[in-house]
Each structure stands twice: as structure tokens, then as C-alpha cells.
């Protein structure tokens, strides 16, 4: 009884697992398809649907069709119930979150960047498909660390589902899996439609709220925005916490699902082992076991597939790197080809330059003649410079003599002018003293005349008073007589006399009054004249002092002016002469510099031509030398042990012993103390670095069989041949006639050396001649450098003289300004002197007028006295 109900339970649990797996796989297929479509239309359509709600509903869809099957135990049913409750709770929370007014404002942003979009499958559970690993990048670390699979398992999930479907296509529950898959797809479509409708509704609500917000005032809008931002931040924080909780729950569910799968496999094995053979339950249990094994194998295959994909990715990276390196090598190869083409061009240009050098070599003698002519011109220019220096010294002596003569003439003219001014001043002083003496005498005479007039007036007054008293007494006597006579008959005569007396008295009173007025006026005039005289004397003293000071200043200023004029004239003359001299010197210096530059250019050109010709000749002589050093083939066939003639010669040059017998070698009777001069000059030149550098390149391109590595050390220390060989073998033909009678027909070392150095005679002579010409040219260049240094020193001296002249010109300008100031002061003093003279003339005229007035007064006073006396 107890064994009968177990098989249906096991088959129900296995069906549940199969349905769950099929739903998860179908959901993963739909997610992958949606993701591919979203990746294609991402740039065109920014308002993609949020996949979190369909994902949760899909999880609910494959959880709902599972009937409350017979469970193996109460723990499995409890776990299923907990799964359903957690999924329902997640759905409810998400619906509440999407229905809140805070989330409606952020709908567009969330729609454009969905928060629950999954890039890859992190577990077998369908709820994990709604997590967006691209947006919530801070949660991907925890999700990837807790999940047993990475994002690359998504690509392997369709393959696994297809394999499972192909494996279970012949089984009776395969049709149910396909039905469940279709149901899940329909549910996903319905969920996407419902999510699109909800998003449109939310967008409409957001638009209405935005229109309402625009009508409100700015303050309400700012407050609403701040509150909305705060609510949005709070909702974001709550959403993050919920997301972390959901991820943890998903991980727990995934581990539980693995545990349940493992437990189902074990229970299927146990049930299959305990069931009878050949029964339906046995077959179902075996199928369940196969399904569990297939799931484990699928996990293993997914892991291996991940490894394979990682290796494929690495291989692709390696292939990309190799392609990149190939492209780099290709570019390098192209660059090398370009460099090779450039080198060929340069070689062709070098060949053309060599041809030009050979053509220019013909003009060498002409250039040498021109150099000699240039040196002669330089000598002529030196002689002309010396002549110019002599002329300059003569001109300087003539200028000094002219300056002395001008100074003497100016001093004599100054002396004459000073003497004339002194004479004029002395005559003016004498005239002024004479006029002063005259004025003094006149003033003294006037004072004496006034005193005399005063005495006369006083005496006349006394006389008049005495006469008045006498007349009064007479009048009293006459009055008494008239009184006496009035009584007589002579009264008429007395009356006439009385009238006469009265008229005389009145006339006297008027005359005395007039005299008093005239006297007072004369006294007033006299006081004013005395005051004016005192003022004139004081002013005259001041004028004398000022005239004396002005004359002294004028003399001093005139002396300074004359000296400054003389100095200015001298400086102007010297400046003109120096300017002319500097101009001529600069012209000559420019001419000499141009000539020197031309000579330098000619020297450089000649040197280059000489170097090119020397290198070409050396190459030609070396090639001819090597060709001559190659003996006939018959002689070397008789020497199988000696090798090539070049190597034999090289051995003999280095100082090695040949392989032949010692008796075959000719005895060396030459002294090894003297080294050949041409080879010493060629091997160790002191000033032919350019030749060695130019000869190194052609030797590097030749084949190694023709190279003769002759070093200076080999030539100077270990060379067995002597100088006589080189000079004696120049005229001998290159024939092996020395040792033809020997049994082995071997050539000695001296024969090889003489053969190899047959063509070295002209090249050595050419090198010696070229070295001599180069030394001569270098000596000429050193002489031209010395001449240039001397000319530069002269130019520096001329520049220093110009600077000194400029300083003197500045001093001259300052002296001119000082002279102008002194001339202005002299003009002012002259004006003052003229004004003083005018004032003195006016005063003298005034004195003359006063004298005339005094004379007139004297006349009037005399006439008046005479009239009064009469």
C-alpha cells in the first residue's frame, strides 16, 4: 500500500521540474531574442519596454500551471509555497512602485534605460532574467560573485534547451513541455502588451501633471521639484535595497533549485532501484533520472562551453594581435621598401655627383690660379689698408694743425674784441665822470646862487622894513600936518597926497604877498630838486654797480661762448673727417668680407671637389688593385693548400705564415724600420676623416670576397713588405716570373704583395699631391682667418671710435644748449644795459630841463627885484 502512491508523486515532481526547466528555457529564448532585437533597434527606438514585469509574470506563469501535485514531503511543498509567495510579493511591490506618482515622473528615464534588463543568464531561475546588469553596475559585482554562471551562459542556454528537447522528443512528456513553452510565450506577449499599456497610461499621467505644473507659479514649482527630487531619491534608495534583497533571494532560490534537482536525481535513482523491472513506474523513474542526469550534464557542458568560449576569446585576441603585428610588419616592410627606393635614388644622385666631380676636377688648376689671384688681391687690400692708415694719420696731423691755427686766430680775435670793449667801457666811464662833475658843479653853483639870493632877499626885506618904518613915521608926520592943514585952505593938495600914499601902501602889500608866494615856490622847487639829485646819485651808484657786474658777466660769457664755438667747430670738423673715414673703412671692410666669403666658398667647393675626386680615385685604384691582385687560375690550381689569393695576401698582410714550405719563400733582405709614407698618410690621416667616412660606404656594399681589411695597425706593425717594394714594383708588370722554376710553381709573399701594389703607385702619389694641396689650402685658410680676425678687430675699433664720437656729439649738443642759454642771458643783460642807458639819458635830459628852469627863475627873480626896487 505504501509503495503504490510513490510513483505518481515521483512522476509529478519530475513533471514539475521538467515544466519549470522548459519554462525557464523558453523564457531565456525569448529574452535572448528580445535582447538581440533591442541591440539592433537601440539607436532608433529609445523607449523600449521594461522587461522586469514580464519577467516576473513569466516566472508566475510557469509557476501557476503547476497543479498542487502530490509532494514527496511537507518540506518540498513548503519551499514551493515560499517560492510562490516571494514571487507574488515581488510582483505586488513592483506594481505598487510603478503605480506611485513619484515613479510616473521617472518613467521616461527608466523606459529609456531599463533597470531590469539582463545582459546574460546568471541562473536557471526566470526571476534572474529581469536584472539589468548594464544599468545597475554597482550590483553586478555581487550578482556575478554569488551566481555560479557568468553572462556568457546565455548563449549556451538555447543550445542546452534544444538538446534537452531533442533528447526528450520521443518521451511522452515532450508535448507537455512544448505546450508549456507556448503558454509561457503567450504569457510573455500578454505581459509586454500590458506593460506597454501601463507605460502609455503612466506617460499620459506624467504629461497631465507636467501641464498642471507649468500653470502653477515658480515658487510652487520649485517646492514641488524639491519634494519630487527627495521622493525620487528615497524611492531610488528603497529600490536599491529591494534589488539587493531580490538578488540574495534569487541566489538562495538558485541554490535551492540545485539542491532540489540533485535530491530529485537521487530520489529517482533510489526509486528506480527499488521499483520492479519492466514496470511503467520503473520507466518513468528512469526517465526522471535521465532528466536529472541531463541537467547535470547540461551544467557541466555549460561550464566547459564557458571555458571553450574563454579560450576562443583568447584565441581571437591572439589572432587580432597577430593581424595587428602583421599589419605593423607590412607597414615596416613598406617603409623599408621606400627607404630602399630612397637609397637607390641617393645612389643614383651620388653617381651623378661623382660624374660632376670628375667634370669639376678639370677645373682644379683654374681654381688654384683663382685662389692665388685672390691671395694676391688680399695682399693688395692689406697694402691699401696700410696706405689708408697712413693717409688717416696724415689727415689727423693736418686736422690738429688746423685746430691749433683756428685756436690761435680765435684767441687773437677775442683779444681784439676784449680790447675794443675795454676802450669803449673806459670812454663811457670817462664821459660819465665828466657829466657827473658838470652836474656837481652846476648843483653847487645853484646852491651858492640860492644862498646869495636868500641873503639879498633878507637884506632887501630889512631895508624895506626900515623904509616902511620911515614911511610910517613920515605918514604920521604928514597926517599930523594934514590935520593941521585940513583946517587951512590947502586941504585939497593934502587929500591928493593921502590918496597917493594909500595906493602906494596897497601896491606894497600886493608886492610883499607876491614875493612870499614866489619865495615859497622857489623853496619847494629847490627841495624837490635836491631830492631828485639824491635819487639820481643813488640810482647812478646802483647803475654803476650793475653795469660793472654786467660787463664782467658779459666778458665771461663771451669768453665761454668763443671757446665753446671753437670747440664745436673743431668737433664738427673732426666728426666729419671721422665719418668720412668710417664710411670708407666700412666700405673697404664690406669689400674685404665679401672677398673673404667668396674665397671661403671657393675653398669649400674645392675641398668638396677634392674629397670627391680623391674618394673616387681611391675606389677606382682599390678596385684595380683588387683586380690585379687576382692571379691566373692555373697558378692557383697548383696550390691547393693555400686557398684564395686574396686570403693568402690577407694572411701575408697580417703577418701569418703561409701553408707552403719555408724554402719556397724568397728571403726578405729589406729593412723593416721605414714605413711607406703614402700608406701611412692613407691609413692614418690627420685631416681626412671625410675621406674615410666616404670610403666606408662603398666598401660595405662590395662582396666579402673582394674586401681587403687593411688597418693602420697592420700597416704600421705587422706588414712584412718594405717601402722599396712599393716604389720598385710600380714599373714592373704583374707577372709571376719570379718563382716559375720552382717545382711547385708557388709565388712568394713578396710577389703577391708586389702584384697587389702595382696599381697603388698613382693612387699614393695622388693622395700625397692632394694632401699637399689640402695643407696649402688650409694654410691659406688660416691666413685668411687671421686676416678676417684682424679686420674684425679693426671693425671693432672703428665701432668703438663711432661710439666715442657719438658721446662727443652728445656732449656737443649739451654745450650747444648751454651756449644758447648763455646767449639768452647775455641778450637779457644787453637789454637791461640799454634800458639803463636810456634811463640815464632821460635823467640827464631832466637835469638839463631843471637847469633851464632854474635859469628862468633867476631871470624872473632879478626882474622882479629890479621892478620892486624901481
Q: How confident is the model at residue 255 (pLDDT cuts 50, 70, 90)?
A: confident
48 vs 780 pLDDT, higher one: 780
Name which residue leads in pLDDT, 713 or 538: 538
Of residues 693 and 360, more confidence is placed in 360
- Mean pLDDT score, 344-367: 78
Write a three-state SS string for 485-538.
Answer: HHCCCCHHHHHHHHHHHHHHHHHHHHHHHHHHHHHHHHHHHHHHHHHHHHHHHH
Return the biggest CA–CA distance within the chain: 233
Q: Is the pLDDT of residue 514 over 70?
A: yes
**Is a pLDDT exceeding 70 seen at residue 758?**
no
pLDDT, residue 729, reads 39
pLDDT at site 112: 37
pLDDT at 849 over 80: yes
Nearest CA to 254 out of 149, 407, 159, 174 is that of 149
Q: Which alpha helices (H) appear in 279-363, and where do they start and end? A: 280-361
When pLDDT is cut at 50, 70 and 90, the band that residue 848 belongs to is: confident
Measured on CA atoms in the order 345, 346, 348, 349, is the torsion positive or negative?
positive
**Predicted pLDDT of residue 657:** 38
Residue 114 has pLDDT above 50, yes or no: no
Distance CA 838, CA 825 (A): 20
Q: Calculate mean pLDDT across residues 658-678.
A: 37
The answer to whether the CB of 10 falls within 8 A of the CB of 143 is no
Q: Are 217 and 54 in contact (CB under 8 A)?
A: no
Percent of the chain with pLDDT over 70: 58
pLDDT of amino acid 149: 40
Residue 416: its pLDDT value, please? 80
The pLDDT assigned to 775 comes to 84
Of 255, 59, 55, which Cα lies nearest the Cα of 146? 255
Q: What is the pLDDT of residue 560?
A: 78
Res 200 pLDDT > 70: no
Mean pLDDT of 325-353: 86
Say which range, 154-158, 530-534, 830-834, has the weakest mean pLDDT. Answer: 154-158
Q: Look at residue 825 and tell me whether its pLDDT is greater than 80.
A: yes
Looking at residue 658, the DSSP 8-state letter turns out to be P
CA angle 778, 783, 789 (to 5 degrees): 125
With cut-offs at 50, 70 and 90, classify the pLDDT of residue 850: confident
Block residue for cell numbers 644787453: 830
The pLDDT assigned to 312 comes to: 92
* Torsion angle of C-alpha atoms 105, 108, 109, 113, degrees rounded to 10: 150
The average pLDDT across 808-819 equals 82
520-567 confidence digits (pLDDT tens): 888 887 888 888 888 888 888 787 787 777 778 777 877 877 777 787
Q: How far is CA 316 from CA 323, 330, 391, in A?
A: 10, 20, 93
Percent of the chain topping pLDDT 90: 1
* C-alpha–C-alpha distance, residues 275 and 3, integer Å: 9
In this predicted model, what pLDDT tens digit does every residue of 611-623 receive, in sequence order? 888 888 888 878 8
pLDDT at 189 over 70: no
Residue 193 pLDDT level (bands cut at 50, 70, 90): low
CA distance linking residue 460 with residue 518, whole number of Å: 15
Which DSSP state fits 72?
S
Higher pLDDT, 161 or 22: 22
User: Look-up: residue for cell 510579493?
Assistant: 89
Confidence check: pLDDT of 117 > 70 = no
Lowest-confidence region among 30-39, 446-455, 576-585? 30-39
More confident residue, 416 or 678: 416
**What would the mean pLDDT of 218-237 be, rounded to a whole number?**
86
Q: What is the mean pLDDT of residues 824-839?
A: 83
The set of residues, in sequence order, having a beta carbon less than 8 Å from that of 860 and lying 6+ positions away, is: 518
Indicate whether 169 pLDDT > 80: no
Q: How large is the average pLDDT for residues 399-414? A: 78
Q: What is the pLDDT of residues 315-337, one digit of tens each?
A: 998 999 999 888 988 888 888 88
* Mean model confidence pLDDT for the chain: 66
The pLDDT, as a whole number, for residue 35 is: 60
The yes-or-no verdict on residue 701 having pLDDT over 70 is no
Tell which wins on pLDDT, 74 or 465: 465
Q: Looking at 287-301, 383-397, 489-503, which range is the least confident one?
A: 489-503
pLDDT at 319: 92
pLDDT of 610 reads: 82
What value does the mean pLDDT take over residues 95-101? 44
| pLDDT reading at 476 higher than 50 | yes
Answer whether residue 83 shows pLDDT above 60: no
Q: Read off the pLDDT of each residue in 86-103 and give the average, rounded to a whole number.
A: 48
Query: Is residue 32 predicted with pLDDT exceeding 80?
Result: no
- Mean pLDDT, residues 264-289 taken together: 77
pLDDT at residue 315, rounded to an integer: 92
Amino acid at each position: 500500500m505504501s509503495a503504490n502512491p510513490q510513483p505518481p508523486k515521483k512522476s509529478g515532481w519530475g513533471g514539475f521540474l521538467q515544466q519549470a526547466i522548459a519554462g525557464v528555457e523558453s523564457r531565456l529564448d525569448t529574452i535572448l531574442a528580445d535582447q538581440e532585437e533591442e541591440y539592433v533597434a537601440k539607436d532608433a527606438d529609445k523607449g523600449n519596454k521594461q522587461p522586469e514585469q514580464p519577467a516576473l509574470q513569466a516566472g508566475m506563469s510557469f509557476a501557476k500551471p503547476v497543479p498542487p501535485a502530490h509532494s514527496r514531503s511537507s518540506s518540498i511543498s513548503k519551499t514551493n509555497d515560499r517560492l510562490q509567495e516571494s514571487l507574488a510579493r515581488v510582483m505586488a511591490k513592483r506594481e505598487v512602485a510603478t503605480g506611485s506618482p513619484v515613479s510616473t515622473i521617472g518613467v521616461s528615464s527608466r523606459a529609456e534605460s531599463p533597470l531590469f534588463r539582463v545582459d546574460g543568464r546568471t541562473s536557471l531561475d526566470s526571476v534572474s532574467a529581469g536584472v539589468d546588469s548594464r544599468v545597475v553596475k554597482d550590483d553586478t559585482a555581487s550578482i556575478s560573485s554569488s551566481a555560479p554562471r557568468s553572462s556568457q551562459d546565455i548563449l549556451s542556454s538555447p543550445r542546452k534547451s534544444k538538446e534537452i528537447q531533442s533528447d526528450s522528443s520521443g518521451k511522452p512528456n515532450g508535448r507537455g513541455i512544448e505546450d508549456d513553452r507556448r503558454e509561457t510565450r503567450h504569457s510573455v506577449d500578454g505581459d509586454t502588451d500590458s506593460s506597454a499599456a501601463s507605460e502609455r497610461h503612466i506617460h499620459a499621467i506624467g504629461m497631465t501633471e507636467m501641464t498642471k505644473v507649468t500653470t502653477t507659479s515658480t515658487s510652487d514649482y520649485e517646492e514641488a521639484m524639491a519634494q519630487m527630487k527627495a521622493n525620487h531619491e528615497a524611492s531610488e534608495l528603497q529600490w536599491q535595497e529591494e534589488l539587493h534583497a531580490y538578488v540574495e533571494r534569487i541566489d538562495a532560490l538558485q541554490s535551492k533549485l540545485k539542491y532540489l534537482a540533485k535530491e530529485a536525481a537521487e530520489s529517482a535513482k533510489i526509486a528506480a532501484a527499488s521499483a520492479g523491472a519492466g514496470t511503467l513506474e520503473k520507466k518513468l523513474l528512469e526517465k526522471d533520472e535521465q532528466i536529472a542526469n541531463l541537467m547535470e550534464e547540461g551544467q557541466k557542458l555549460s561550464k566547459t562551453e564557458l571555458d571553450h568560449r574563454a579560450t576562443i576569446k583568447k584565441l581571437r585576441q591572439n589572432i587580432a594581435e597577430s593581424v595587428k603585428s602583421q599589419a605593423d610588419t607590412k607597414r615596416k616592410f613598406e617603409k623599408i621598401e621606400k627607404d630602399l627606393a630612397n637609397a637607390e635614388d641617393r645612389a643614383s644622385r651620388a653617381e651623378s655627383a661623382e660624374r660632376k666631380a670628375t667634370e669639376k676636377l678639370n677645373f682644379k688648376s683654374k681654381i688654384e690660379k683663382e685662389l692665388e689671384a685672390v691671395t694676391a688681391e688680399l695682399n693688395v687690400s692689406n697694402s691699401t689698408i696700410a696706405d689708408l692708415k697712413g693717409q688717416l694719420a696724415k689727415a689727423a696731423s693736418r686736422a690738429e694743425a688746423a685746430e691749433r691755427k683756428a685756436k690761435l686766430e680765435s684767441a687773437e680775435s677775442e683779444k681784439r674784441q676784449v680790447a675794443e670793449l675795454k676802450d669803449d667801457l673806459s670812454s663811457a666811464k670817462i664821459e660819465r665822470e665828466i657829466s657827473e662833475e658838470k652836474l656837481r658843479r652846476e648843483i653847487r653853483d645853484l646852491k651858492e646862487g640860492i644862498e646869495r639870493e636868500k641873503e639879498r632877499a633878507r637884506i632887501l626885506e630889512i631895508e624895506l622894513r626900515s623904509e616902511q618904518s620911515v614911511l610910517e613915521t613920515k605918514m604920521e608926520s604928514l597926517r599930523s600936518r594934514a590935520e593941521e592943514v585940513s583946517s587951512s585952505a590947502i586941504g585939497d593938495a593934502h587929500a591928493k597926497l593921502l590918496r597917493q600914499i594909500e595906493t602906494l601902501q596897497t601896491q606894497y602889500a600886493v608886492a610883499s604877498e607876491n614875493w612870499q608866494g614866489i619865495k615859497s615856490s622857489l623853496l619847494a622847487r629847490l627841495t624837490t630838486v635836491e631830492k631828485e639829485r639824491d635819487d639820481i646819485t643813488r640810482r647812478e651808484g646802483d647803475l654803476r654797480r650793475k653795469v660793472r657786474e654786467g660787463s664782467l658777466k658779459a666778458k665771461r660769457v663771451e669768453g665761454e661762448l668763443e671757446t665753446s664755438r671753437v670747440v664745436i667747430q673743431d668737433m664738427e670738423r673732426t666728426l666729419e673727417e671721422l665719418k668720412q673715414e668710417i664710411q670708407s673703412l666700412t666700405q673697404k671692410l664690406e669689400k674685404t668680407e665679401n672677398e673673404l666669403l667668396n674665397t671661403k666658398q671657393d675653398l669649400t667647393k674645392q675641398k668638396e671637389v677634392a674629397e670627391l675626386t680623391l674618394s673616387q680615385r681611391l675606389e677606382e685604384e682599390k678596385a684595380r688593385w683588387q683586380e690585379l691582385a687576382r692571379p691566373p687560375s692555373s697558378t692557383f690550381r697548383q696550390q691547393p693548400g693555400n686557398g684564395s689569393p686574396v686570403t693568402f695576401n690577407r694572411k701575408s698582410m697580417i703577418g701569418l705564415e703561409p701553408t707552403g714550405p719555408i724554402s719556397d719563400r724568397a728571403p726578405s733582405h729589406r729593412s723593416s724600420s721605414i714605413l711607406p709614407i703614402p700608406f701611412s698618410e692613407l691609413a692614418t690621416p690627420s685631416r681626412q676623416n671625410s675621406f674615410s667616412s666616404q670610403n666606408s660606404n662603398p666598401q660595405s656594399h662590395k662582396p666579402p670576397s673582394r674586401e681587403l681589411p687593411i688597418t693602420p695597425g697592420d700597416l704600421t706593425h705587422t706588414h712584412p713588405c718594405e717601402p722599396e717594394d712599393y716604389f720598385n714594383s710600380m714599373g714592373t708588370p704583374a707577372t709571376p716570373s719570379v718563382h716559375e722554376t720552382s717545382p711547385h710553381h708557388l709565388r712568394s709573399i713578396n710577389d703577391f704583395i708586389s702584384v697587389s701594389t702595382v696599381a697603388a703607385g698613382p693612387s699614393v702619389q695622388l693622395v700625397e699631391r692632394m694632401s699637399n694641396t689640402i695643407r696649402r689650402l688650409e694654410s691659406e685658410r688660416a691666413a685668411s682667418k687671421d686676416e678676417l680676425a684682424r679686420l674684425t678687430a679693426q671693425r671693432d675699433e672703428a665701432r668703438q671710435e663711432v661710439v666715442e664720437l657719438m658721446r662727443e656729439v652728445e656732449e656737443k649738443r649739451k654745450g650747444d644748449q648751454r651756449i644758447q642759454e648763455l646767449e639768452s642771458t647775455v641778450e637779457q643783460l644787453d637789454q637791461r644795459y640799454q634800458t639803463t642807458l636810456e634811463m640815464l639819458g632821460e635823467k640827464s635830459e631832466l637835469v638839463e630841463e631843471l637847469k633851464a628852469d632854474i635859469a628862468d627863475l633867476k631871470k624872473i627873480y632879478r626882474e622882479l627885484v629890479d621892478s620892486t626896487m624901481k
